[in-house]
Amino acid sequence: MPPPSERTLLDGLRICTRADVNAHARSYLADGRCVGWHAPADRSGTAIVIDAELATGPPPTALARRFGDHDFWERWTRAECAAKACRVPIPVWLREHGLGAGPDISVRTVRTTMAGTPVVVSAADVRSASRWPSR
């Protein structure tokens, strides 16, 4: 199953200062706030993973040196989602795939402003990652 559409992803995102226990998927920003995704009724059984990052900060120096800083946060959140969907630690994912999502994993990425904060959020359906993607 593909990840939620851009509109469905955007409509379901919420940002709060503590864990969003009612969210179907959640990720934490560098400033400690929680971004949660609330599935609409027609996708309530969806197994989604998300990753969210502040879009305004520079990437970590070592990662920017290794992968470049162009569209870094978009590429980072896509890789994080792919790794989460495959249940692979991100260092292992980076060694095998870099900041790619892998050819067998469908990931949707949006850039938006939440509570006055520019963020990048990616989402992947876990069922799209049923096997370890080949390089």
Task: Express each pLDDT in 32-81 by its tens digit.
Answer: 999 998 887 666 566 789 999 999 889 999 999 999 999 999 999 999 99
Q: Distance between CA atoms of 73 and 37, rounded to whole angstroms?
A: 18
Cα–Cα distance, 52 to 45 (Å, whole number): 21
Average model confidence (pLDDT) across the chain: 85
Q: How large a percentage of the chain has pLDDT more than 90?
A: 44
Distance in angstroms between the alpha carbons of the first and the last residue of the chain: 21
Q: How far apart are CA 96 and CA 84, in angstroms?
A: 14
**pLDDT value for 8:** 84
Contacts with 62 (C-beta within 8 Å, 6 or more apart), sequence order: none
Q: Which two tokens stand for residue 64?
A: 């920017």
